[in-house]
Amino acid sequence: MSGSASSEDSALLFLNRTEARAVAAFTSELIPSEEGSPGAVEAGVTTYIDRALAGFMRDLQPVYRRGLEALADLAAERFGCSFGEATSAQKRHLIAELDDLGRNEPANFLGQFFRIVREHTIQGFFGDPAYGGNRDTVGWKLVGFPGAQWGYTSEQMQRGVDSRTFPILTVKDLYARIGEAK
């Protein structure tokens, strides 16, 4: 996975291209892509994070700048290349280290940065597509969440119902339906 999809096919609102590539490479390790099963990259998690940093999360702009620099420095020191250019094993090794820091050393900046990016990766993967991530509702398809439903019938609430048969809806779909009703 090149990890560059999101920086090439959509406008960037805060991150520069190098940063966007780093975010894509990093979040791709948090929710990896598999054959037939999209991950963070296909979901557009980088776009979600970029838009959020330009808006709702603008207070975190300096945290991302500093975090991505620290990540680049660490990768250069350990592997002599950028994080994105490292091997899969190298990337996973580094992420395991950051996860450990995040859990055991609450004051460590890189550990904090790991937890922040992970939180936003989850948001970008499972949030409504209106926010720029969860493209084609791939996150919801993965887990079997039917999305932004107006409601469920009592038949749908029966035991043993396969919820993967429910058509997935988004906030946009609900607005379209309201528009039609009026």
Partner 1 sequence: MIEKFDAIVVGMGSSGGIVAEQLTKSGARVLGLEKGPEYSQEDFEVKADELRYYQRGAIVAGVAVDPVTWRPDEKTQARVLPWSAGALGTDEPLYGLPSIGTGGGTLHWGAAAYRFREADFRMKSAIAERFGHGALPEGSTLADWPISYADLEPYYEKVEHQQGYSGRAGNVDGEFPEGTNPFDVWRRSDYPMPPVTQGPGDLPWVEATKRLGYHPFRQPLAINSQEYKGRPACVNCGFCHGFPCHVKAKSTTQVTSIPAAKATGNLDLRANSRVLRVNRSADGRRVTGVTYVDSADQIHEVEAEIVVLAAYALENVRLMLVSGINKNGQVGQHFQTHNFGWFGSILPEATNPFIGTFNASSAIDDFTSELVPDNDLGVLWGSPIISVTGDLQPIEAYHNMNPSVQKWGLELKHWLRDNYRHMHRMYSQTTNFPYARHYVDLDPSVKDRWGQPAIRITHEWEDHDANSVSLMGRYKEKIAREMGATEFWMDSPRPPYHLSTHDVGVHRMGLDPATSVTDPFGHVHECDGLYAVGGGGFVSYGGYNPNETIQALAYMSAGHLIENLGSTAGRSQAHVA
Contacting residues toward partner 1, per CB under 8 A: 29-32, 34, 37, 39, 56, 60, 63, 92, 95, 99, 112, 115-116, 118-119, 122-123, 126-128, 130-131, 139-140, 142-154, 156-163, 171, 174-175, 178
- Contact indicator for 60, 42 with CB cutoff of 8 Å: no
* Residue 63 or 72 having the CB closest to partner 1: 63
In angstroms, the CA 34 to CA 173 distance is 28
In angstroms, the CA 25 to CA 77 distance is 18
* Residue 17 or 172 having the CB closest to partner 1: 172
Token reading at 39: 């991950």
Q: How far is the CB of 21 from partner 1 (least distance, A)?
A: 19
Give the amino acid at 35.
E
In angstroms, the CA 126 to CA 6 distance is 17
Q: How far is the CB of 144 from partner 1 (least distance, A)?
A: 5
* Residue 62 or 80 having the CB closest to partner 1: 62
Q: Would you call 65 helix, strand, or coil by DSSP?
A: helix
CA-closest candidate to residue 49, choices 65, 38, 34: 65
Q: How far is the CB of 77 from partner 1 (least distance, A)?
A: 22
* Residue 81 or 144 having the CB closest to partner 1: 144
Q: How far is the CB of 100 from partner 1 (least distance, A)?
A: 11
Q: Counting beta carbons within 10 angstroms of the beta carbon of residue 173, is it exposed (0 to 12), middle (13 to 18) or buried (19 or more)?
A: middle
* Residue 11 or 143 having the CB closest to partner 1: 143
Q: How far is the CB of 116 from partner 1 (least distance, A)?
A: 5
